[in-house]
Amino acid sequence: MVNSLDFVKVTESAALAASRWMGRGERDAADGAAVEKMREALGKMDIAGRIVIGEGERDEAPMLYIGEEVGRGGVPVDIAVDPVEGTNLVANGLPNSIAVMAIAERGGLLHAPDSYMKKLAVGPKAAEFVHIDAPVRENLEAVANALEKPLNDICVVILDRPRHAELIREVREAGARIKLISDGDVDACIATAIETTGIHVAMGTGGAPEGVLAAAAIKCLGGNFMGRLQPRNQEEAERAIAMGFGDLDRVLEIDDLVKSDDVIFCATGITDGDLMEGVRFFGNHARTHSILVHAGGTVRMIESVHRLGARPSGR
* CATH code assigned at 103: 3.30.540.10
What is the structure's pLDDT at 161? 96
Give a yes or no: residue 207 inside a domain: yes
Q: What global pTM score does this model have?
A: 0.93
* Structural domain harbouring 76: 4-109+263-307
237 lies in the same domain as 120: yes
What is the structure's pLDDT at 59? 64
Total tally of structural domains belonging to the chain: 2
Instruction: State what percent of residues in the chain have pLDDT above 70.
Output: 97
79 lies in the same domain as 161: no
Helix (H, G, I), strand (E, B) or coil at 261: coil
Mean of the per-residue pLDDT values for the chain?
93
What is the structure's pLDDT at 11? 98
Report yes or no: 64 and 89 within 8 Å, Cβ to Cβ. Answer: no
Tens-place pLDDT, residues 5-53: 999 999 999 999 999 999 999 999 999 999 999 999 999 999 999 999 9
Give a yes or no: residue 146 inside a domain: yes
* CATH code assigned at 215: 3.40.190.90
Report yes or no: 34 and 55 within 8 Å, Cβ to Cβ. Answer: no
Q: Quickly list H helices, the chain.
A: 4-19, 27-43, 87-92, 136-147, 165-174, 185-191, 208-221, 234-242, 254-257
281 lies in the same domain as 176: no
**Domain final residue, candidates 257, 275, 298:** 257
Distances from the Cα of 114 to the Cα of 169, 254, 287, 294, angstroms: 28, 18, 33, 26
* In the predicted structure, residue 315 carries a pLDDT above the cut 50: no
* In the predicted structure, residue 149 carries a pLDDT above the cut 90: yes
Q: Binning pLDDT at 50, 70 and 90, where does residue 314 land?
A: very low
Tens-place pLDDT, residues 87-132: 999 999 999 999 999 999 999 999 988 899 999 999 999 999 999 9
Distance of CA 159 to the CA centre of its chain: 14
Residue from 125, 249, 267 nearest 194 by CA: 125
Residue from 79, 124, 120 nearest 101 by CA: 79
